[in-house]
Amino acid sequence: MTKLLEIKDLHVAIDGKEILKGVNLTMRSGEVHALMGPNGSGKSTLSYAIAGHPNYEVTSGEVLLDGQDILELEADERAKAGLFLAFQYPTSIPGVTVANFLRHAVTNVRNPGRKEGEDLVPMRDFRKELRAEMDELGMDPDFARRYLNEGFSGGEKKRAEVLQLAMLRPAFAILDETDSGLDIDAVRVVSEGVNKVAAKVGTGVLVITHYQRILTYIKPQFVHILYGGKIVEDGGPELVDTLEREGYDWVRAKYPNDAKAEDALSV
C-alpha cells in the first residue's frame, strides 16, 4: 500500500523569525529523497516542523500524511501515524535505559490505540528483537542497558537513532545528518540497516546530508536543494555529483534573491 507524504508551501518561524519560506516536497513509500543545502539553510527546521517540535511555529502551509493534515497532531501522535525523525543532535535522557525507552516507544507505535497504563509489549519478544537489530547494526548487547544517549560518542548516538528506526519501522523516515559522526565503516553498516527496514516495510526515506558517501548506500531517486528557506532545485542523483564538484556557488548565483534570504538567516 503506497503512502503519501506531502509538504505544501510550508512556512515555519522560530521565535517569530521566518526560517522556511514555502517548502514543497512530496514523497511516496519506497522512495528515497536526499535533501542538501548549506549550513543554516533550514534542513533541521524542516525536520523538526514535520516531527512536531513545539518551538517551530508553522505560520502557513500544510503537511499531509495520506491526505490527513498532521500539523494539528502532537509529536507522539505523528510518530504513531508513521513518521520518524533521526535527530541531528539526539537528546540524552539520564537514567532511562535504551531498552526501557524503546520498549515504551515500540509499544505505543505498534498499538496506536493503546491507552496509557495498558501492558507493554512482552519483555521476552522485545528483548529478542532488540538484540537481533542491535546485532545487525554491530552494537554491543550491553548498549541496551545504557542510559539513552548518555555519554554516547557521536557515532554511537547515530547508531542508536537507526536502531530506533529499525524497531519502529516507520512509513516515512527523515535522517537528519545521520552520517555525520559515523566512521567510514559505520556509514555503510547504518545505511544497510536503513535499507533493510525500507525494503521490509516500504519506508519512504528523506536523507539530509552534506556528503555523497551515505548516498552511495542509500541511493536517492530524488535530490532537493534547500536554500534560503526554500527548495530551489529538484533533480536526480546527478545533482549530488554537481554539488560535490562545485559546492553551492552556482546556486547562489542562480538564485540571488534567495541568497539574500540565506545571508539574512546566517547573521
Rule CB under 6 A: which of 14-33 touch ligand ATP? 14-15, 19
Query: Which partner from the list ligand ATP, Mg ion, other proteins, none does 265 bind, CB cut-off 5 to 8 Å by kind?
Result: ligand ATP
As measured in angstroms, the least distance from the Cβ of 7 to ligand ATP is: 14
Contact residues toward Mg ion (CB under 5 A) are 43-44, 88
Query: Which partner from the list ligand ATP, Mg ion, other proteins, none does 85 bind, CB cut-off 5 to 8 Å by kind?
Result: other proteins
As measured in angstroms, the least distance from the Cβ of 113 to Mg ion is: 34
Q: Is 54 in the site for ligand ATP (CB under 6 A)?
A: no
- Closer to ligand ATP by CB, 41 or 149: give it: 41
How far apart (Å, rounded) are the C-alpha atoms in residues 5 and 163? 23
- Closer to other proteins by CB, 48 or 227: give it: 48
**Binds ligand ATP (CB under 6 A): choice among 39, 142, 249, 253:** 39
